[in-house]
Amino acid sequence: MTYPKSFEELMECFKMLPGIGNKGAERMAYHMLDMDALSVQRFANAMIDFKKNIHHCKICGHICEGDTCEICQDPERDHSMICVVESPKDVFAMEKLKEYHGLYHVLGGTISIMDGITADDLNIDSLFKRINEQTKEVIIATNPTREGETTALYLAKLLDQMGVNVSRIANGLPVGSSLDYADDLTLLRSFEGRQKI
Amino acid sequence: MTYPKSFEELMECFKMLPGIGNKGAERMAYHMLDMDALSVQRFANAMIDFKKNIHHCKICGHICEGDTCEICQDPERDHSMICVVESPKDVFAMEKLKEYHGLYHVLGGTISIMDGITADDLNIDSLFKRINEQTKEVIIATNPTREGETTALYLAKLLDQMGVNVSRIANGLPVGSSLDYADDLTLLRSFEGRQKI
């Protein structure tokens, strides 16, 4: 015996979501069975509106509802600094700090030879086009993974040729961690990056 | 900084699903950002069609696309036996065995004093109405939990008064398990339920 067609189809759709397998999709479909029709309609509308309204900012690649994001539009922000991140999630993480007041540039991924992603597949060209005499510093804040580091080195080299001040966020021990649990590379970077106190 | 409105709304909707919190909803919304518009439209349609097409069978309470389910409609099945289960999931679990060829009755839950669910909230009345001189046996297959047992005892008592043959699925050790890991009650039931070999 199989599930009714509409049930199967909804399960297939749930399985498109990250981390959702057969059992999870089944559970979600059963849950939806108990949801009232209005909530289901709201959910379906939210999906369609989301796809229709959310775009990437034409300047920095962050997500927004209009053509350009509120950060790029904000005259109060420091337009002489650009922080380069991998994804919109990273922008939100940085903004939570309330410490950085410059602009962002979202690459939409990292260079990865394993996955066949080259610089051309990323939002890199537009970064170079944004840089002008106003630009004082570009902070590269890609993740400290192999792909993130590769991307950072690639960008640093090209930006350096353009005569731009480039910096990279620091590696080191996370606050609250202990030395004997840190991996060798993190400890080494933490040691190399030591600062006067 | 907050997410754009359509992004927030989709996250709120994902959070209605079981087991999905803030982080999970965020991850799903980001994933949907990368999905093509056609897939998102398909997903939204699947939800609406699901809610429109999937009903509970008017006879047994199982899920189906028409008025009555294919099991109730099937003349090949043994209409003299009714297996009472808690949810449609249990029907699919039983059907996988290909061992039982009778009908089902889906209660849609269990009697639970803690959650304020009484017999009136469940699909019980229609069970009594289904029983006629043709009915040879009612097998109660609610889960062996406190609520499942309460419901089973309640049903057994009333069905017994109606003069129906009532049976309950067996408690015991799961196949492949070991005695010393079994809880006391399971072991006791397994001992009490011993059969000649």
The residue in chain B having the minimum alpha-carbon distance to the alpha carbon of residue A23 is B89
Is residue A44 a contact partner of residue B51, using CB atoms and an 8 Å limit? no
Contact B6 A47 (CB under 8 A): no
Bridge partner list, B105: B84
Q: Over chain A, what is the mean pLDDT?
A: 91
Tokens 């039983």 map to which residue? B94
B116 and B157 in a single domain? The answer is yes
Contact A51 B63 (CB under 8 A): no
Chain B: give the shortest CA distance to residue A133, in Å: 28
B45 and B90 in a single domain? The answer is no
Distance (Å, whole) CA B170 – CA B173: 10
Residue A185 inside a domain? The answer is no
Q: Does A95 touch chain B (CB under 8 A)?
A: yes
Distance (Å, whole) CA B15 – CA A182: 35
Q: Does A32 touch chain B (CB under 8 A)?
A: yes
Q: Does A102 touch chain B (CB under 8 A)?
A: no
Contact A13 B42 (CB under 8 A): yes
Tokens 């400290």 map to which residue? A144
Q: What are phi and psi of B105, to 5 degrees?
A: -140, 120
Q: Is A171 helix (H, G, I), strand (E, B) or coil?
A: coil
Q: What is the pLDDT of residue A34?
A: 87
Contact A16 B43 (CB under 8 A): yes
A19 and A106 in a single domain? The answer is no
* The dihedral sign for the CA sequence A164, A162, A93, B1: positive
B149 and B81 in a single domain? The answer is yes
The CATH number linked to A34 is 1.10.8.420
pLDDT in tens, A19-32: 999 999 999 999 99
A73 and A149 in a single domain? The answer is yes
A140 and A75 in a single domain? The answer is yes
B88 and B149 in a single domain? The answer is yes
Digitized pLDDT (tens) for each residue of chain A, 197 residues in all: 688 999 999 999 999 999 999 999 999 999 998 899 999 999 999 999 999 999 999 999 999 998 999 999 999 999 999 999 999 989 998 998 888 999 999 999 999 989 999 999 999 999 999 999 899 999 999 999 999 999 999 999 999 999 999 999 988 888 888 888 888 888 888 888 888 77
Contact B33 A54 (CB under 8 A): yes
Q: Chain B interface, mutation test: which of A2, A3, A10, most B Cβ atoms within 10 Å?
A: A10
Token pair of B113 as six digits: 């004093």
Residue A175 inside a domain? The answer is no
Alpha helices in chain B (DSSP H): 5-14, 22-34, 37-53, 70-73, 88-97, 125-130, 146-161, 184-192
Residue B70 inside a domain? The answer is no
Is residue B6 a contact partner of residue A49, using CB atoms and an 8 Å limit? yes
Chain B: give the shortest CA distance to residue A45, in Å: 7
Residue B191 inside a domain? The answer is no
Q: With a cut of 50, which residues of chain B have pLDDT below it?
A: none
B44 and B114 in a single domain? The answer is no
Q: What is the pLDDT of residue B139?
A: 93
A136 and A49 in a single domain? The answer is no
Which residue range is the domain that position B144 belongs to?
A: 75-168
Residue B15 inside a domain? The answer is yes
B81 and B160 in a single domain? The answer is yes
A174: number of Cβ within 10 Å: 8
Burial code (b: 16+ CB inside 10 Å, e: under 16) for B91-117 equals bbebeeeeeeebbbbbbbbbbbeeeeb
Q: What is the pLDDT of residue B16?
A: 96
Tokens 């053509």 map to which residue? A67
B22 and B96 in a single domain? The answer is no
Residue A64 inside a domain? The answer is no
pLDDT in tens, B36-48: 999 999 999 999 9
Q: What is the pLDDT of residue B158?
A: 94
Residue type, B30: Y
Give the Å distances, CA to CA, from A181 to A165, A175, A187. 35, 13, 10
Q: What is the pLDDT of residue A24?
A: 94
Distance (Å, whole) CA A27 – CA B55: 17
The CATH number linked to A150 is 3.40.1360.10
Number of domains in chain B: 2
What is this model's ipTM? 0.79
Token pair of A83 as six digits: 């922080």
Q: What is the pLDDT of residue A151?
A: 95
Q: What is the pLDDT of residue B181?
A: 84
Contact A6 B46 (CB under 8 A): yes
Q: What is the pLDDT of residue B119?
A: 92
Residue A63 inside a domain? The answer is no
DSSP B80-106: EEEEEESSHHHHHHHHHHT---EEEEE
A49 and A82 in a single domain? The answer is no
Residue B86 inside a domain? The answer is yes
Q: Does A93 touch chain B (CB under 8 A)?
A: no
